């Protein structure tokens, strides 16, 4: 009986740990009340469902979803995750939830940012046309950058607000306010560059990752810019070669930077697997985090 009871206690303890590890993430609003500049917005947020591939449009109420690390694995590090989508959509799972879950599994408290976007038609076909027109400007605009839209301005404001909010409430989540990073994909990476080059230290992350991103003209890292990890694919057909100027800017500023250019992967590979070397970007990112002490190195087997 004693042996059976002991086994049952062990089983229940295992269930308790597993249950804590799989606790639902917590959603918190980014602002107290309506987001500044969106007080009169009338569009309705829309979600296109799909297994592991949800797309979100017309966000006017930005929020953070907090993913606590697996119990016992946290090291006081937090990281904001900003998915991409050309400021018209959010690739919410491939570049959002999957990344946040990976960070939490590796001991980092993740904060998935649902930020504001340009308004698009409720008709999905028309919304797609609007986005294609925007993306076409990348190839026709001088310098390859479309004019800054209202959605991009609001998204950058949300990125800055997210940094301030996480740091101000860091103790609530067991995070060191001086160990808060930011990872962005495509449009989210543009936001990463916005906060990382900000003259305001309150919104600059302590470390940053730009995944198939770009650096808008006029932005440049300062002498205290955060260490940077960059990943992109050589065959990126949307913004080919845009990671190199980011790398060169950080080198010129004498700031730590690491660049990974994968032979194949195109644009938007995220956490999906395509049978290319870009499938392993997250592993390279993990090694970089370990090297800098932002992720606890797993014990050798």
What pLDDT sits at residue 142? Answer: 80
Predicted TM-score (pTM) of this structure: 0.91
pLDDT-derived band of residue 208, with 50, 70 and 90 as boundaries? very high
Q: Which two tokens stand for residue 240?
A: 């080919």
- Check residue 4 and give its pLDDT: 35
pLDDT tens digits for 189-201? 999 999 999 999 9
pLDDT at 139: 85
Q: Tell me the average pLDDT of the chain.
A: 90
In CATH terms, the fold of domain 42-292 is: Rossmann fold (3.40.50)
**Which tens digit of pLDDT belongs to each residue from 30-70?**
999 999 999 999 999 999 886 668 999 999 999 999 999 98
Please report the sign of the dihedral spanned by the C-alpha atoms of residue 103, residue 108, residue 109, residue 113: negative
Per-residue confidence (pLDDT) for residue 51, from 0 to 100: 65
pLDDT at 246: 98
The string of pLDDT tens digits covering residues 153-171 is 999 999 999 999 999 999 9
Task: Dump pLDDT digits (tens) for 63-116.
Answer: 999 999 988 777 899 999 999 999 999 999 999 999 999 999 999 999 999 999
Q: What is the pLDDT of residue 297?
A: 65
Sign, Cα dihedral of 286, 82, 203, 170: negative
Report residue 9's pLDDT band, with 50, 70 and 90 as the boundaries: very low
Instruction: Give the tens place of pLDDT for each residue, 222-246.
Output: 999 999 999 999 999 999 999 999 9
* Residues whose CB falls within 8 Å of the CB of residue 193, separated by 6 or more in sequence, listed in order: 210, 213, 214, 215, 216, 219, 246
Parse the chain into domains and list their residue ranges: 42-292
* Residue of 243, 284, 280, 242 lying closest to 264 (CA atoms): 280
Average the pLDDT over 263-282 and give the result: 96
């Amino acid at each position: 009986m004693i042996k059976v009871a002991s086994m049952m206690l062990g089983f229940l303890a295992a269930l308790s740990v597993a249950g804590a590890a799989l606790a639902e993430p917590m959603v918190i609003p980014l602002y107290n009340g309506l987001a500044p500049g969106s007080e009169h917005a009338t569009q309705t947020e829309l979600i296109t469902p799909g297994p592991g591939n949800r797309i979100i449009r017309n966000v006017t109420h930005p929020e953070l979803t907090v993913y606590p690390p697996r119990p016992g694995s946290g090291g006081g590090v937090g990281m904001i995750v900003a998915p991409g989508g050309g400021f018209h959509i959010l690739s919410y799972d491939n570049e959002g939830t999957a990344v946040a879950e990976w960070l939490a599994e590796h001991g980092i408290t993740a904060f998935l940012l649902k930020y504001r976007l340009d308004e698009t038609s409720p008709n999905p076909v028309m919304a797609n046309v609007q986005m294609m027109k925007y993306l076409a400007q990348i190839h026709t605009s001088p310098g390859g950058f479309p004019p800054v839209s209202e959605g991009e301005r609001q998204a950058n404001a949300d990125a800055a607000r997210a940094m301030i909010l996480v740091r101000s409430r860091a103790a609530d989540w067991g995070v060191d306010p001086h160990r808060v990073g930011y990872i962005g994909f495509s449009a989210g990476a543009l936001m990463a560059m916005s906060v990382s080059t900000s003259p305001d230290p309150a919104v600059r992350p302590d470390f940053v990752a730009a995944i198939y991103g770009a650096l808008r003209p006029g932005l440049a890292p300062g002498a205290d810019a955060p260490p940077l990890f960059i990943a992109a694919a050589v065959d990126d057909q949307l913004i080919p070669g845009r990671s190199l100027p980011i790398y060169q800017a950080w080198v010129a500023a004498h700031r730590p930077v690491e660049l990974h250019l994968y032979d194949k992967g195109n644009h938007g590979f995220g956490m999906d697997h395509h049978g290319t070397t870009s499938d392993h970007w997250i592993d390279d990112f993990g090694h970089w985090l370990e090297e800098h002490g932002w992720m606890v190195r797993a014990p050798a087997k």
